Structure 1
C-alpha cells in the first residue's frame, strides 16, 4: 500500500472528523446549525471557485447542468444541513457514526437502481448497520446506562439523513466525477445548496472565534479534505481509501470527548463498532466484486 496515498487519506479523514467538534463552537455562541451549514457552503465555494479558475475548469455541458444542480440540493442543502442538525441534537461523536451508515445506503441503492448484486456479505452488513443504529440510539433507554451524549429522535433522523445524502455522492460520482474535476462540480453545486439554506435561518452576530470556526469548516473540512482525499486516490485504490477514511468517526469521537466531554456508554461503543464493521464488510465485498469483473469481463 502506497505510504503517500495513506497519509493523504488519513489527512482527509482527520479533517472530516473535525466537522462536528468545530461546528459546536459557533452553536455555543448562538449560531443555528443551518447557518453553520450555509457558511460552510458559501465560504467553501470561494476556495473551489479559485481552484477551478486556476485550473481553467469552469465549463460544464448544458445537459449535465441540471443533475449537478440537483446534486447541490441533496449533497449540500440537505446533507450539510442535516449533519449540522445532528451535531446539535445528538452530539459530534454520534453524528459522525450515523454518517457512516452511508456505505449501507450505497449498497441498498446500488442494488435497487444500478443493478448491482446484493450478496450475503452485504445483507449481513445491512443487518449490522441496523443493529448498530439501534444500539447507539436506543441502548441507553433500554438498558438504563449512563451516558453524557443526550439525543433527540429528530437528531437521529437527521444523522441517518446525512448518511443517506452522503451516500448519494457515490451514486452521483459514478456518473459525473469521472467527467469533471471536483472543483468544477462544487463550483456549481455549492452556491445552489447555500442559497436554498437561506429561508431556514436568521443571520446571527458572530464573534471572531465564530468566524474562525466557520472559515475552518470551509477551508479545512470541506475544500482541504476533498482536495487531499482525491490526491490520495491517485496513489491508492478507492477501496483502500474508503477503509482508511473510516478513521473519521474515531477522530470526531476523540475530539468530542476532549472538547465537549461527550462519552458513549457500552451500547454506544458496541453500536459504533457494528456500523464501522459493516463499512469494512461492504468495502471488502465491493473489492471482490470489482476483482471478479476484471477477471471475467462480460
Structure 2
C-alpha cells in the first residue's frame, strides 16, 4: 500500500535535519577548540555513525547488509572521498572560519556538479547554470571581502572549504551510480564503514588517548562544562545519524529538488546558532554574499536536465538534501 505524501511533514523533517546539522557545526567547533584535531574528530564521527547504522540494520534488516565484491571499489571511493575527506576538510574549515561561511563555500558543490556533467559528461544543462555560476562567484567574492588586503578570511580555511565542496560533488556523482543497485540507507551505512576503516589506518586508534574524552570542557554557555564524550556523542548521533534519518524520511513527502532547496537554509541556521552560542559575528558584506551564493546554489540545483530519469544519492552530514540531477 503506497504512502500518502504529506508535504508539510516533509518540510518539517527537512528543516529539522538542517537545524541539527547547523547545531552540529557549533558543537564540532567546541570539540575542535577543546583540542581534538580534525583527523580524530572525523574518525570518531565516522566510526560512531557507522556503528549506529550497522547496529540498526543488523537488528531490523540484516539482509540489506550484504555486500558484493563488485561493489567494493565504488564503496571505497564513496566512503573515502565523499565521506571521510568531505567531513575532514569541513572540520579544517570550521576550525579557521565561521561555521556559516564554511558551509556557504562547501555548498557550492551543486555548481561544480553542473559544470562537470556539462563539460565531461556532455549532458544538457539549462541556461540558468551560467547565472548560478555568476551569482555563486560574486557571492563568494563578497563573503571573502577580497578588497580587504587579499581577503578577510583565512586562506587555508577557504581552501579546505572549497576542497570539501569538490569532495561533496564527488559524493553526489558517485552516489548516482551507487543508488542504482542499493538503497540510500545501506549505501550510506557502508560509506561510513569505509570512511571509518580509512581513518583507522590514517589515524590509528592506538595513537589516540581515549582518556581525553572524560575531560571537562567549556560549552561557551556561561560557566557550564561537560565531559568531552558528551560532545562526541552529540556529533555522532544528533549530528550525523538523526539528521540523516530525518532527511531520508522527508523524501517520500517532497520531490528531491524541493528538499534540496529547503535544505539550503542550513548555512543561515548555522550562522544564527554560532552567533547566539559562540558569538561568531558576520559582517554585512558576508551576510549579503552568503545570500547571493545560496541563490546561485538554488539555481544550480535545477540546472541539470532530465532529472526524472536519474537516481538520487543519499544524504550526509553538512550537505543539502539530494540534488536533482
TM-score by length of 1: 0.88
Superposed CA offset, 1:140-160 (max 9, x none):
72599xxxxx74111001111
My pick for the range that moved more, 183-192 or 201-210, is: 201-210
- Of structures 1 and 2, the one with the larger relative CO (CA 8 A, separation 6+) is 1
**In structure 1, what is the equivalent of residue 117 of structure 2?**
110
Cα distance between partner residues in 2 of 1:143 and 1:251:
28
Q: 2:52 aligns with which of 47, 53, 73?
A: 47
User: Which runs of 5 or more structure 1 residues have no equivalent in the other structure?
Assistant: 145-149, 294-298
Counterpart for residue 140 of structure 2:
133
1:203-259: per-residue Cα shift (whole Å, max 9, x none)? 351235321111111111211111111111111101110111111111100011011
Which has more helix, going by share of residues? 1
> CA contact under 8 A between 2:90 and 2:161: conserved in structure 1?
yes
How far is the alpha carbon of 1:195 from its aligned partner?
3.5
- Tell me which residue corresponds to 1:167: 169
Q: Does 1:182 align with 2:184?
A: yes
**1:124 shift after superposition:** 1.3
Instruction: Write the mapping of 1:154-233 to structure 2, written as runs, cut at 5 A.
Output: 154-198=156-200, 199=202, 203=208, 205-206=212-213, 207=215, 209-233=227-251
- TM-superposed CA distance for 1:181, in Å, is 2.5
Runs of at least 4 residues off by over 6 Å: none
SS in 1 for 2:9: helix
Q: Does the 8 Å contact 2:132/2:299 carry over to 1?
A: yes
Q: How does 1:1-298 map to 2 (within 5 A)?
A: 2-53=7-58, 54-56=60-62, 57-139=64-146, 141=148, 151-198=153-200, 199=202, 203=208, 205-206=212-213, 207=215, 209-286=227-304, 289-290=306-307
Match of 2:321 in 1: none
Classify the secondary structure of the residue corresponding to 1:68.
helix
Q: How many residues align?
A: 287
Cα RMSD between the aligned structures?
Answer: 2.4
Secondary structure of the 2:177 match is: coil
Give the Å deviation of 1:38.
1.1
Spell out, residue by residue over 1:245-278, the C-alpha distance to the aligned partner (whole angstroms, 9 max, x if none): 1111111000110111111112211210111000
Instruction: Measure, in 2, the Cα distance between the counterparts of 1:71 and 1:283.
Output: 21
**Distance in structure 1 (CA, Å) of the matches to 2:229 and 2:165:** 27
CA distance in 1, matches of 2:181, 2:102: 32
How many angstroms apart in 2 are the aligned matches of 1:178 and 1:247? 29
Residue 19 of structure 1, CA deviation = 2.6
CA contact (8 A) 1:139 1:267 kept: no
Q: TM-score, normalised by structure 2?
A: 0.81
Shift of 1:45: 0.6
Structure 2 segments unaligned to the other structure (5+ residues)? 1-5, 216-225, 311-325
Contact 1:93–1:262, Cα closer than 8 Å, also in 2 = no
Instruction: Report deviation, 1:289.
Output: 4.6
CA distance in 2, matches of 1:68, 1:153: 32
